[in-house]
Amino acid sequence: MTRNLTAPAPVPVHTSLGRVVVTGGAGFLGSHLCEELLARGSEVVCLDNFLTGSPANVAHLMSDPAFHLLRCDVTDYVHVPGDVDVVLHFASPASPVDYLQLPIETLKVGSVGTAHALGLAKEKGARFVLASTSEVYGDPQVHPQPEDYWGHVNPVGPRGVYDEAKRFGEAITTAYRTTHHVNTGIVRIFNTYGPRMRPNDGRAIPTFVRQALAGEPLTIAGDGSQTRSVCYVSDLVEGILAMAASTHPGPVNIGNPTERTILRIAEDVIAATGSDSTIELVPRPVDDPEVRRPDTALARRVLGWSPRVSWDEGLASTVEWFRSVVTVPA
């Protein structure tokens, strides 16, 4: 019997993935992955050079004997003693502010860093999962974006360093699978939000929440009609770990298919924070995508995964966390 792809996916059974290396493990997504892996009984080796990640993101994990934090730049080397069952490659600047300030570092971690992480997986006989991105679709001309869409990317535009680093990462991951028979998988991550995002990382939701809590105008690029599909971080982690537990090569889109305008997101943030902030329109960045929405049929079919956290619930949790870290003017 064919499963109805529109039906809610079952709640996954959580099992340990063994000994897992997470590159970029002290970043926003990486730290949530480390946390959930430990909760599932895995041993975690977290590698980070703290260029955009922070030890503070994993400080609460340091007392767990199954957690190991190593300062490591994967563009220099990757050496992990002992057995490794899974390598999750999440090292990379991931916000426009970061990769515009760190273009060479972004390209190097997507190329040299990915090659080193793949080399570790090959050496250890481990499953390898690459954190790719919806940015490989560029400013898409197909909507929503399925995995077989090749994208519409400007390789020499200001966002090209991130887009092309990830596209190269996908290519070398595929090459290691076909040439060296490494058990690889690729996840294309769409816009994600939640606790531990940096207030000044330049992405829409942390920027809006920070501005709203400070009583500042919320700055919207363009007229705010461009759309994004945002996924709460715990849902994203579920999808990534489902991919890690599978043998599917991907690419597989992981994201929330519910689409909202940037203007609507800003208005919802104002309501969730109880702020009296106004909205201010500012010039739109070059190559800013007009629409962004994942086709998640493949994730539902091969991983049994679909997002479960509502926008209202996820936004409330995010705002609560930001209140604890953002200084609000008296």
Task: Please give the share of the chain, as a percent, with pLDDT higher than 70.
Answer: 95
Shortest CA distance to 204 belongs to which of 269, 136, 275, 290? 269
Higher pLDDT, 220 or 326: 220
Task: Please give the share of the chain, as a percent, with pLDDT higher than 90.
Answer: 86
Higher pLDDT, 288 or 86: 86
What are the beta bridge partners of residue 45?
21, 68
Cβ count near 49 (within 10 Å): 20
Q: What are 157-200's pLDDT values in tens digits?
A: 888 999 999 999 999 999 999 999 999 999 999 999 999 999 98
Determine the angle formed by the axes of helices 262-273 and 204-213, rounding to 10 degrees: 40
Query: What's the Cα-to-Cα distance from 9 to each of 121, 230, 245, 321, rounded to whole Å?
Result: 30, 18, 16, 28
Residues 7-36 have a mean pLDDT of 83
Residues 134-145 have a mean pLDDT of 93
> What's the CA gap between 166 and 73, in Å, rounded?
18
Query: Is 162 one of the catalytic residues?
Result: yes
Shortest CA distance to 198 belongs to which of 59, 89, 326, 103? 326
Alpha helices in 55-213 (DSSP H): 96-101, 103-108, 114-124, 160-180, 204-213
pLDDT over threshold 50, residue 10: no
> What's the CA gap between 66 and 71, in Å, rounded?
17
Candidate list 137, 162, 176, 193, residue with the active-site label: 162
> What's the CA gap between 61 and 12, in Å, rounded?
24
Please state whether the peptide bond connecting residue 144 to the residue before it is cis, i.e. omega within 30 degrees of 0. Answer: yes
Q: What are 258-298's pLDDT values in tens digits?
A: 999 999 999 999 999 999 999 999 988 877 888 899 999 99
- Max Cα–Cα distance, the chain, nearest Å: 61
pLDDT over threshold 90, residue 315: yes
User: Architecture of domain 19-193+232-257+293-308 in CATH?
Assistant: 3-Layer(aba) Sandwich (3.40)
| The amino acid at 302 | V
Q: What are 141-152's pLDDT values in tens digits?
A: 999 999 999 999
Shortest CA distance to 230 belongs to which of 307, 129, 320? 307
| The amino acid at 57 | N
pLDDT bucket at 96, cuts 50 / 70 / 90: confident
pLDDT over threshold 50, residue 8: no
Contact 72, 78 (CB under 8 A): yes
Q: What pLDDT is attached to residue 287?
A: 72
